Structure 1
Amino acid sequence: MKKGILIFFLIFSISTFAQDVLMQNGTVNQCSGTFFDSGGSAGNYGSNESFVLTICPENAGQLMQLDFTVFSTQLNVDIMTIYDGDDTAAPSLGTFSGANSPGFVSATTGNPTGCITIEFISDGSGTITGWAADISCFTPCQDIVAQLDASTPAQNGNGEILICVGGDVIFEGSATFSVDGTGATYEWDFGNSTIGTGQVATATYSDPGIYIVDLLVTDTNPLGCSNINSISQVVRVSPEIDFTGTQAAQNIICLGESTTIDGVAGIAQFEDCAPEIFEQTWLEDTQSTGLPASYSSTITVDCYGAGQLLTDISQITDICVIIEHSFIGDLDIILVAPNGAQVDFLEYGD
């Protein structure tokens, strides 16, 4: 009975100890546990140490993470350097000593090994408590590109879907995955405050307007990885036309006679992506008054799809502005981004 208990105790002790990694020379493959200085959880590190330890993930494609919860060495003399790779020739992620803790450190996606290498050098003048860091691994996000495969009704020649108020649109989508799409979820944002799920989803549009539809594809990675693009499908819902009031000058006519029919059509108005402006003013001629004067109108365009971001002016294909202006020599047209960056489209004014 004692022998059995002793064997159990030894096995349990080995299993527990295997979760901790002490600073030493060598390489370990581990995605859990705690990384300590050479003194372990209760002791100080030693004098005149010179260790290089590489910690690698357990599975291919993973990246290492270290989260330092405690860190204390002699400032500028007992120094830790962390490298983004499996040896000290890899790019450095930083050098640390004193109370300057590495904090949270992760291998980068450009690191093909996924490993982190730690170099620690101490002098002979004394030692202190050292460090403790939680060990973990993660799988970085794969590239996911969503796409609209088909719709009912289909897109017109301009790539837009046209329907009437109260109409339905059936969307069919998919995605390409750089690694694996098994178990991915599909969520549609129909642009009208409603959503749908699955690769095939139906939206009903009860109000006239212009709607931007997007598809969010998320894989099973715990990081919650989603597609890097936006499909930004435009759906135009035409308003109903009311012909009430349309009538003929004569209600009854005979064969060979004619009449006049006055047509009346009431079309509900809705705001487009770029709303019209109806501001106007009168600027006096500066030559006659001798005083400068200026006037500006602003059109705010904010109906982009989720995740859409302009990073270069060449991504704007065209801008159409209908404007009445008496003298173009006084006119400036400027595009201003939310971050304050601006592009001068037309610059004639003083």
Structure 2
Amino acid sequence: MSSALIAQTYSVTDEGTVYTCGGTFNAGSITAGEMYTYTICSDGATSDNHISIYLDSWNVPTGDLLCVYDGPNSSSSLLGCYDGSNWGANHAFTATPANLSGCLTFVFTASGSSASWSGAISCNFSCQPFSAVFDYSVPEVDASGLFTDICPGDEIVFSGSGNYYMNDTLYHQDDANCTFTWYFGDGSEAVGQTVTHTYSGVEGYNISLIIEDQFGCYNINEIENRVRVSTPPTFTGTFLDPDTVCIGDLATLTGIVNPTEGTNAQETVIAGTTYLPDGDGDSYSTSLMMTTFDANQSLTDINDLEGICVNMEHSYLGDLVISITCPNGTQVILEDQGGGSTFLGEPVDIDDPNQPGVGWDYCWSPNPTYDVMSV
């Protein structure tokens, strides 16, 4: 005797509310002129209490309309409405952290009877977003709010906290039930809300703080602080006048301090991950936060820029216009829709933010081997 497990199928035409964390969601048998409302909620079996649905098969003719609401009914916040004019790719819908019910509600208005779609239902744990705050350092941060300057061998104290701006929306967060990990930029780290460290090298170090809450969720921001360890000065030229004295004689000691020039290269600055769906006409951006330089400093020699690199995967190079924009508005085009159907990296050739491919490194520099990307 043998048995097989068959996944449950849920259709928008069933209407009502279902509680599940698995199975398939489809259109069912549509009747022209009808409006259907269907709500899918977590079954509550685990802490993964927010519904996620990925529709990987679809056919929604122009005139039909599917609206998705972030909650248990159509009075909830609208995530989006889709018809034949904008249903251009596979779609993933996930209940947001602010949605305490964790449910998604689908309202489908049928002008005909040929619409169809199908996709997997799953439940996800939804993190409450929060941010890390750099509270203070000893010695204090300078007037710019970015740099802490110390001498070689000095001990420095760092202290931080969390800004739990959605606290108690889904669960309780506070500093006591979070883990604070400081990364000092010299390969070492320490755990604690307030920590101390001593640098041995004479250079600059970017400080980062990662906070992890009790459910393994992390802060969504990066703190901006850099420690600058000064070079030791020399005292060449210091003299005593007169240079020979006896007990009781008066002499003048004149100290000469000679600064020692030091150079600190900018460490690699990494922006966040950006999802790039195929050819939908939208623009996507992310920011590179430079914390090494003083306010209003500018790059005056292009050869001081070693390069701009991205690690990316995308299934159609010809989709892309890639540019970088400076704070003063100056823009440089890095890629201008050349290359046609060339793959970047090893993409998963479907639009699903939950299924990234393998990114390859691509770089632009002042003296490149190739011109603006076209191959």
Task: Specify the SS of the correspondent of 1:76.
Answer: coil
Q: Deviations over 1:121-174 (max 9, x none)?
A: 4466x647x2211112334432434345676x5548978866421333343544
- 8 Å contact from structure 1 (residues 248, 260) kept in 2: yes
Asked if residue 20 in structure 1 is aligned to residue 6 in structure 2, the reply is: no
> Which of 152, 168, 171 is matched with 2:158 structurally?
171
In structure 1, give the amino acid aligned to 2:240: A
- 8 Å contact from structure 2 (residues 225, 291) kept in 1: no
CA distance in 2, matches of 1:134, 1:76: 24
- Give the 3 Å change call, closer, same or farther, for CA 203–110 of structure 1 in structure 2: same
- 8 Å contact from structure 1 (residues 187, 195) kept in 2: no
Asked if residue 57 in structure 1 is aligned to residue 45 in structure 2, the reply is: no
Paired residue for 2:173? Answer: 180
User: Which structure dedicates a bigger proportion of its chain to helix?
Assistant: 1
The aligned runs of 1:190-205 (5 Å cut-off) are 190=184, 192-199=185-192, 201-205=195-199
CA distance in 2, matches of 1:149, 1:70: 49
Asked if residue 246 in structure 1 is aligned to residue 227 in structure 2, the reply is: no
Paired residue for 1:34? Answer: 24
RMSD of aligned alpha carbons: 4.4
Work out the percentage of aligned pairs sharing the same amino acid.
23
Q: Deviations over 1:45-101 (max 9, x none)?
A: 34446432111234499432221110124x235543333332234436113349745
The aligned runs of 1:39-188 (5 Å cut-off) are 45-48=29-32, 50-59=35-44, 62-73=49-60, 75-76=61-62, 78-90=64-76, 91=78, 93-97=80-84, 100=88, 103-122=91-110, 127=114, 130-147=116-133, 155=140, 163-175=150-162, 177=164, 178=167, 179-180=172-173, 184-188=178-182
- 8 Å contact from structure 1 (residues 61, 114) kept in 2: no
- Give the 3 Å change call, closer, same or farther, for CA 20–221 of structure 1 in structure 2: farther
In structure 2, stretches of 5+ residues that fail to align are 266-288, 298-324, 331-375
In structure 1, stretches of 5+ residues that fail to align are 39-44, 274-300, 306-315, 321-336, 343-350
> Which of 211, 214, 225 is matched with 1:217 structurally?
211
Asked if residue 268 in structure 1 is aligned to residue 260 in structure 2, the reply is: yes
- Give the 3 Å change call, closer, same or farther, for CA 135–123 of structure 1 in structure 2: same
In structure 1, give the amino acid aligned to 2:235: F
Paired residue for 1:189? Answer: 183
- Bigger Rg, structure 1 or 2: 1
Task: Specify the SS of the correspondent of 2:326.
Answer: coil
Aligned residues: 265
Paired residue for 1:237? Answer: 229
Task: Specify the SS of the correspondent of 2:244.
Answer: coil
Paired residue for 2:305? Answer: none
TM-score (norm 2): 0.54
Paired residue for 2:352? Answer: none
Give the Å deviation of 1:243. 2.5
Q: Deviations over 1:160-200 (max 9, x none)?
A: 8664213333435443542335874433232x443413115
CA distance in 1, matches of 2:69, 2:152: 60
Runs of 4+ that moved beyond 6 A: 156-160
The aligned runs of 1:301-340 (5 Å cut-off) are 302-303=290-291, 338-340=326-328
Q: Deviations over 1:246-268 (max 9, x none)?
A: 34355433356555655433321
In structure 1, give the amino acid aligned to 2:22: S
Task: Specify the SS of the correspondent of 1:28.
Answer: strand
- 8 Å contact from structure 2 (residues 17, 39) kept in 1: yes
CA distance in 1, matches of 2:92, 2:153: 53
Paired residue for 1:311? Answer: none
- 8 Å contact from structure 2 (residues 9, 24) kept in 1: yes
Task: Specify the SS of the correspondent of 2:68.
Answer: strand
CA distance in 1, matches of 2:63, 2:239: 97
CA distance in 2, matches of 1:93, 1:156: 45
Task: Specify the SS of the correspondent of 2:256.
Answer: coil
- 8 Å contact from structure 2 (residues 25, 121) kept in 1: yes
- 8 Å contact from structure 2 (residues 97, 127) kept in 1: no
